[in-house]
């Protein structure tokens, strides 16, 4: 009965219960995020055969660090941040070429670009080409496409996951889309120019 009540609670409320020592409630958070994290891991860590171990590591770290989570904030960017760090470490362990540590796009303040196309329409369009070209993208482009189009995180949430300015999120996303379209010959149509706005 108690468990069925908890199912209607938000992630943040359940995280608060876990913080108070209700360990079994962590299972509900796992149910909610397991599929998402597996999907994120499979698409980000292309070619790696230890996906299950890596996702398990994410959940273990989440539990260990849950008392650092501020329940007044959203839970999803917080767990995705843990996942991002764990996945990047996994990539580094198996990297054939060194991962880029420094992003020149974080140097200057970029305006935030917002696509004029409705998000759902854009998502449908992009999702058609993601499977064809995602594995050919560099990890940083691959990840931002996954977080925005597959995991549906907002720019602010992605900024919190990747620890980069919001303007950099929009610029990187724009570049990732252009890059993705290079690998998909059937997708001839150039991405339309987005509008520019300042927060």
Partner 1 sequence: MNENENKKLKDSVLEKIETGKINMKPRFYFVAEVTALIVVAILTLLTSSLLVSFIIFSLIASGKLFLLGFGVRGLLTFFVLFPWSLLIVEIIFIILLEWLIKKFKFGYRSSLTRLVFVILLISIALSVVIIITPFHNILQNRAEQRNLPIIGSYYRGLRRPIPDQEIFRGVVSNVGTSSFVIDQSVDVDDNEASNSYYLIDLPPNVPSSFFPSVGDTVFVAGKLTSYDTVEAYGIQKFSTSDIQ
Where on the chain is the footprint of partner 1 (CB under 8 A)?
18-19, 23-24, 26-27, 30-31, 34-35, 38, 52, 55-56, 59-60, 63-68, 106-110, 159-160, 163-168
The answer to whether 195 and 116 are in contact (CB under 8 A) is yes
Q: How far is the CB of 105 from partner 1 (least distance, A)?
A: 9
Closest to partner 1 by CB, 87 or 133? 87
C-alpha of 122 from chain center: 18
Q: What is the gyration radius of the CA atoms in the chain, in angstroms?
A: 18
Closest CA to 104 of 18, 165, 57: 165
Minimum distance from residue 34 beta carbon to partner 1 (Å): 6
Task: Cite the beta strand spans of the chain per DSSP E.
Answer: 112-114, 195-197
CA–CA distance, 145 with 56 (Å, rounded to integer): 23
Q: Which is nearer to partner 1, 38 or 183 (CB)?
A: 38
Using the minimum distance from each CB to partner 1, give the nearer residue, 99 or 108: 108
**44 or 180: CB nearest partner 1:** 44
């Amino acid at each position: 009965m108690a468990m069925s009540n908890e199912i209607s609670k938000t992630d943040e409320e359940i995280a608060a219960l876990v913080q108070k020592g209700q360990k079994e409630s962590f299972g509900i958070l796992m149910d909610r995020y397991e599929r998402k994290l597996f999907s994120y891991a499979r698409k980000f860590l292309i070619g790696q055969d230890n996906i299950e171990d890596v996702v398990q590591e994410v959940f273990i770290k989440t539990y260990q660090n849950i008392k650092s989570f501020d329940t007044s904030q959203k839970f999803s960017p917080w767990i995705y941040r843990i996942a991002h760090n764990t996945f990047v470490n996994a990539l580094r362990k198996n990297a054939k070429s060194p991962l880029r540590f420094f992003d020149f796009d974080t140097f200057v303040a970029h305006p935030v670009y917002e696509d004029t196309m409705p998000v759902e329409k854009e998502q449908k369009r992009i999702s058609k080409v993601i499977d064809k070209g995602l594995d050919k993208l560099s990890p940083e482009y691959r990840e931002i496409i996954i977080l925005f189009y597959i995991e549906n995180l907002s720019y602010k949430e992605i900024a919190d996951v990747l620890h980069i300015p919001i303007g950099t999120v929009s610029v990187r996303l724009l570049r990732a889309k252009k890059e993705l379209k290079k690998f998909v010959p059937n997708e001839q149509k150039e991405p339309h120019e987005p509008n520019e706005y300042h927060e």
